Amino acid sequence: MRHTIALDPQAGTGLFIPALWGTASILDAGERHERLREAMGLGPSGVTAPLWANLAVPLLTPRSARLAPANDQVAGHPFLWLSERLLTRYELVADDGTTSQEGLDTWVCRLLLEALAAGWYDRQSGLWIDVLADAGATPARVRDWIAGAADPVLDGLEAPTGADADWAIGAAQELVPALRAASDALGAVELTAALGTDDPDVVQAAATAAQCLQVVDGHSQAPALWAQLAADPTRGDLLRQGRDHLARLADDGQDALAWLADVLTSTDGLEGAA
């Protein structure tokens, strides 16, 4: 497999928790979202970018799994050639026997774990495998195929996967709560300084950014105080509440952050030493 496709993450960084790799703000998820959206030619709702991921992921389904992206350079990205197993959400069974569909965060985490296991991403170079080029195909051929041309090779083309089909779902279920807590803690630390300024514009921007914290499966669980503070950044009572709330998030996520640093970036970690 040749690693030739450049998108996120940056060279030298892993797929999880940007801060673990000493890179840009964890609150840059919006920029990662926009880069992938533009490359793929998808609408805003066609991409997800959790704070804890160092990249955005297209939201494709088994019925809309294949597309000709806006940028030909990413036409062979493995995210565009996922197998049905990776595109389909699992039905999860709880200890009491009740079932629920795999949530968005767990699915994204599972996909990234599968990417690590299958070698899709080379951390040193920051490049992804080109599934299309490895099959001897071209972006023009993909466009013809999507338009209706027969192509047996593309009909069966999928990104390679690891030998174990089950390990990633179990690992994702364990990782996701820690990923959420750690990313919220890191974001809270970044925003706390901004709430200590006397500049209403800075406070307003911080309050707006704080609404990106505590997002679960794409749905915000952030308190209403952030929207209120963004509307009136001079309110001292809301500033105090906001600082207290961020302090709690920062404190609550420290154990998760330390655990993830070991699980992900230790010598034997999932992503290797940072």
Distance (Å) of CA 143 to CA 76, 140, 186: 12, 5, 42
How do residues 41-79 score in pLDDT, each as one tens digit?
A: 999 999 999 999 999 999 998 888 899 999 999 999 999
Encoding tokens for residue 221? 């669980």
Encoding tokens for residue 266? 């230790």
How do residues 222-240 score in pLDDT, each as one tens digit?
A: 999 999 999 999 999 999 9
DSSP structure class, residue 16: B
Q: What is the pLDDT of residue 60?
A: 92
Global confidence as pTM: 0.94
| Residue-averaged pLDDT of the chain | 94
74 close to 39: Cβ distance less than 8 angstroms: yes
Q: What is the pLDDT of residue 111?
A: 97
Domain extents for the chain?
A: 3-164, 176-263
215 close to 50: Cβ distance less than 8 angstroms: yes
Flag whether pLDDT at 274 surpasses 70.
no
Flag whether pLDDT at 136 surpasses 80.
yes
Q: Which of 32, 79, 34, 35 is nearest to 58 (CA)?
A: 79
